[in-house]
A and B are shown apart, each in its own frame.
Chain A
Amino acid sequence: MSAATESAPIFEAEALMGIATDLFETMVDGEPGHLTLWWGEPPELEDSRFTWVDIQGQPATRVLLAASRETGEQLTRALLALPEGSAVGDEDFADAVGEVANVVGGNIKSMVPDGGALTLPSVAHAAPDAPGAIAIIDTYLSWRGAPLHVSLWALP
């Protein structure tokens, strides 16, 4: 996808942050304070995994999340209430991180004038190819000190 960033009037980074904050406070952590903006240089994500959903409306939009496998496993343990350090299988991993993208995407969809359909979440080792896509929001969050890359794309 293109790294070019342009503004789009209907989405604000604060709204995306609000959606993510609500999600983590209510369903991941069960308490506030563990998700913040990432301050400083954009971090390198080690052994990255990507999850996304598309909003097939006008404008067509993609919500893309990226994190290290380790952070994704932490997220999976939190959502599935698994013990700290327990093994996380690929199926649970995809289910959990995909659901995070689904909830964020569904809430973004409600802000799209013609929301259309929401795709089922995808999870992969690489970001999906989308020539001509334009980044609307591109930001890093910190969840319990670990980086999460959150971006919103206008699809051609």
Chain B
Amino acid sequence: MKALVIDDSRVMRRIVTGILRGVGFDTVEAGDGKEALERLTEHPDVALCCIDWNMPVMTGFEFVVEARKRQEWRDITLMMVTTEGEQGQIVRALAAGAHEYVIKPFTPEIIVDKLELLGLVGARA
């Protein structure tokens, strides 16, 4: 299974990518929402996007809105991974089409728990 990690911070991409690879994902990366749309076009087998909110060029929220307009990407799971923790922001993202929401800082266990809830990795014993 392939995941796209979208964050303008290389540090955060490394951390999220490391967690995803640890549970068996192949990963590709993008530094903003616009680049992420290009990566999705190049990698139609992406099953999961982990999306920062606050990025230059195109925000994560704008990316979710754009991605949800495309029929061919409707099966991709969109998970926000962001510092934007207000209830209103969470509701906006979910209403726009995101499936899950993780607030930084997080532990690897939090990410894996979300992936289990989404059915993207097997539940741990």
Scan B1-35; emit 1 where CB is below 8 A from any A CB, else 0.
00000001111101100100000000000000000
- Interface contact tally, CB-CB below 8 A: 62
- Docked-complex contact A96 and B11, CB < 8 angstroms: yes
- Docked-complex contact B54 and A110, CB < 8 angstroms: no
Q: CA of A107 to CA of B103 in the docked complex: distance in angstroms?
A: 9
Q: CA of A106 to CA of B105 in the docked complex: distance in angstroms?
A: 10
- Docked-complex contact A95 and B86, CB < 8 angstroms: no
Q: CA of A120 to CA of B105 in the docked complex: distance in angstroms?
A: 17
- Docked-complex contact B83 and A103, CB < 8 angstroms: yes
What's the least CB distance linking B68 to chain A, in Å?
22
B62 within 8 A of A: no
**B106 touches which of A27, A76, A106, A110 (Cβ 8 Å):** A27
* Residue from the set B12, B54, B56, B83 with the largest chain A CB neighbour count within 10 Å: B83
Closest to B13 in A: A95
- Docked-complex contact B11 and A95, CB < 8 angstroms: yes
Closest to B110 in A: A26
Query: Could you say which interface size class chain B belongs to?
Result: 20 to 34
What's the least CB distance linking B82 to chain A, in Å?
7
Closest to B88 in A: A115
* Residue from the set B8, B84, B105, B107 with the largest chain A CB neighbour count within 10 Å: B105
- Interface of A, secondary structure class, is helix
- Docked-complex contact A99 and B9, CB < 8 angstroms: yes
- The residues in B between 43 and 102 inclusive whose CB is less than 8 angstroms from any CB of A are 54-56, 82-86
Given contact pairs A27-B104, A81-B14, a sample of 10 additional A-B residue pairs in the complex whose CB atoms are under 8 Å apart = A79-B14, A81-B18, A92-B11, A95-B10, A95-B11, A102-B9, A103-B104, A106-B85, A110-B84, A110-B85
Question: What residues make up the interface of A, taking CB atoms closer than 8 Å to B?
Answer: 22-23, 25-27, 76, 79-81, 92, 95-96, 98-99, 102-103, 105-107, 109-110, 115, 118, 120
Question: What residues make up the interface of B, taking CB atoms closer than 8 Å to A?
Answer: 8-12, 14-15, 18, 54-56, 82-86, 103-107
Q: List 25 A-B contacts (CB under 8 A).
A: A25-B105, A27-B105, A27-B106, A79-B15, A80-B10, A81-B18, A95-B9, A95-B11, A99-B11, A99-B12, A102-B54, A102-B83, A103-B105, A106-B54, A106-B85, A107-B103, A107-B104, A109-B83, A109-B86, A110-B84, A110-B86, A115-B86, A118-B83, A118-B84, A120-B56
